[in-house]
Amino acid sequence: MYHSIGVIGLGVMGSNLALNMASKGERVAVYNYTRDLTDQLAQKSEGHSIFPFYELSEFVKSLNTPRKIFLMVTAGKPVDSVIGSLVPFLDEGDIIMDGGNSHYLDTERRYDVLKNKGIRYLGIGISGGEAGALTGPSIMPGGDKEAYDQVAPIFTKIAAQVEGGPCCVYIGPKGAGHFTKMVHNGIEYADMQLIAEAYTFLHQKLDLTMEEIADIFDKWNQGELKSYLIEITAEILRKKDEITGLPLIEVILDKVGQKGTGKWTSIQAIDNGIPSSIITESLFARYLSALKEEREAAANILSGPEIEAQELDKAEWIEHIRQALYMGKVCAYAQGFTQYKMTSELFGWNLPLEEIALIFRGGCIIRAEFLNVISEAYRTQPNLANLLTAPYFAEKAKAYQLGLRKVVCEGILSGIAFPCLSASLSYYDSYRAGRSNASLLQAQRDYFGAHTYERTDLDGVFHTNWQ
Ligand code: 6PG
């Protein structure tokens, strides 16, 4: 009896995915370069149809053909090295799948190299962290459709299920799956930063305790802001530190790390002329947080606004910040899905925007009630230029923009940094500006560089001797 799939890379994600596959009836061969993780999984998977191997050649030989080999190893050179070790043992038609957070251009390169050897390659975005890997992630497979069709029965089974459907859908060719995961992570960065800014306002401006803020997030999580990130934020704010007894959040160092996917999202947007200000501001907020020592020194040098804090009505302003957070999310997701749309057109990928929103409803880190509305917007208007102009969101923006404006203004006057909330408002006002100040920039460019300009009333390009 051969094994239906093999998993290489038995860190938490890899081993949890192997356990998930086995729990859904697959016979899973598993292998890791160091035997400790293989032994750990073997112990943990007593009774599961998981079969540990310590020799790569034996692992490969144990698989049904065409072989299906799923890699969950660190992105970058480790993926190339595993592929290099595998290829000598493979036959034409075998399928290698990379489930790590690989850069989509690396995936495209690997796809091409392996295609010349008759080996199929799928770049599969997996979102949901350790828990998601075990109980049901959101899965974004990219590569040849017919190769995907061979593994679809496994991945649709192990994916999160929402309303009876799997959070797994074929995304598109070559690197499209990893691209979709990359932008998912960019949206995740923005979402996390927006929540952090809402938390800052509630704590610093409304002077609420962590417990009170957790209660507010719990309440928001029962309404249109319902989402995994809102839910875990309430839990995080309630958590007490075992050493000091303080709210744990108060003793966590305010320096954010990042593994690169948000950065890649911004770079790809900038390279391709796609406005991605909110995601990029969330990335810069992380970079600025890393300058902790400089910020501590600057705090003693740079003064904030000297206006006396006026007493704000808590209930009224809690609603303003809820609306501001919702508006910020709409703008951030509008930018993320615009990046999908513009890139899809650029690369001819035909990304399924409605289905991408649908598979983000469960399993992934940005899973949220809100994605039902996004998928509905694309179902009714497949060629929607921008989420903001979908009737539902245009109406929401009309109702909630005042909340966002009030919070941003109050924050600015109070000296609270709102990189993403303010970027959201600027994006909203820029996108709805039928005529903008870009005409002055064109004039300036033509003045000093004779770069010419177009006119609103005549065809053609023009240059003026400005002196
Ligand atoms: C997911 C997560 C996952 C990763 C984080 C870490 O979708 O399951 O996004 O891919 O754990 O994104 O990324 P940073 O270290 O860059 O925040």
pLDDT tens string 420-448? 999 999 999 999 999 999 999 999 999 99
Quick one: pLDDT at residue 308? Answer: 72
What are the tens digits of pLDDT across the range 43-92? Answer: 988 888 999 999 999 999 999 999 999 999 999 999 999 999 999 999 99
Cα distance between residue 333 and residue 23, in whole Å: 34
What are the tens digits of pLDDT across the range 242-263? Answer: 999 999 999 999 999 999 999 9
Q: What percent of the chain has pLDDT over 70?
A: 100
What the block records as the tokens of 459 is: 């065809």
Give the residue among 189, 340, 333 at the shortest CA–CA distance from 272: 340
Q: Is 90 exceeded by the pLDDT of residue 307?
A: no
Active-site annotation holds for 292: no
Query: By mean pLDDT, which of 97-101, 136-140, 175-179, 255-259 is the weakest?
Result: 255-259
- Taking the CA of residue 101 as reference, the ligand 1 atom at the shortest distance is 10
pTM of the model: 0.96
The residue nearest atom 6 of ligand 1, judged by CA position, is: 259
Question: How close is the Cα of 185 to the center of ligand 1, in Å?
Answer: 6
Q: Is 90 exceeded by the pLDDT of residue 306?
A: no
- Could you check whether the bond before residue 66 is cis, i.e. omega within 30 degrees of 0? yes
- Taking the CA of residue 188 as reference, the ligand 1 atom at the shortest distance is 9
Name residues contacting ligand 1 (CB within 6 A): 101, 127-129, 185, 188, 257-259, 261-262, 364-365
Catalytic-labelled residue, pool 68, 181, 329, 341? 181
Match 């009170």 to its residue by tokens. 212
Q: Is 80 exceeded by the pLDDT of residue 322?
A: yes
What are the tens digits of pLDDT across the range 405-419? Answer: 999 999 999 999 999
Question: How close is the Cα of 199 to the center of ligand 1, in Å?
Answer: 21
Query: In Å, what is the CA distance from 129 to each residue of 14, 37, 145?
Result: 11, 18, 26
Q: What is the dihedral of CA 335, 338, 340, 344, to 10 degrees?
A: -160
Question: How close is the Cα of 269 to the center of ligand 1, in Å?
Answer: 19
The residue nearest atom 7 of ligand 1, judged by CA position, is: 127
Active-site annotation holds for 205: no
Q: Is 70 exceeded by the pLDDT of residue 187?
A: yes
- Among 17, 74, 261, the mutation site with the greatest number of ligand 1 atoms within 8 A of its Cβ is 261
Question: How close is the Cα of 166 to the center of ligand 1, in Å?
Answer: 21
- Taking the CA of residue 256 as reference, the ligand 1 atom at the shortest distance is 17
What are the tens digits of pLDDT across the range 338-374? Answer: 999 999 999 999 999 999 999 999 999 999 989 999 9
Query: In Å, what is the CA distance from 352 to each residue of 94, 165, 338, 389, 422?
Result: 27, 16, 13, 19, 30
Question: How close is the Cα of 117 to the center of ligand 1, in Å?
Answer: 32
- Among 126, 192, 259, the mutation site with the greatest number of ligand 1 atoms within 8 A of its Cβ is 259
- Among 167, 188, 192, 195, the mutation site with the greatest number of ligand 1 atoms within 8 A of its Cβ is 188
The residue nearest atom 17 of ligand 1, judged by CA position, is: 258
Question: How close is the Cα of 277 to the center of ligand 1, in Å?
Answer: 20
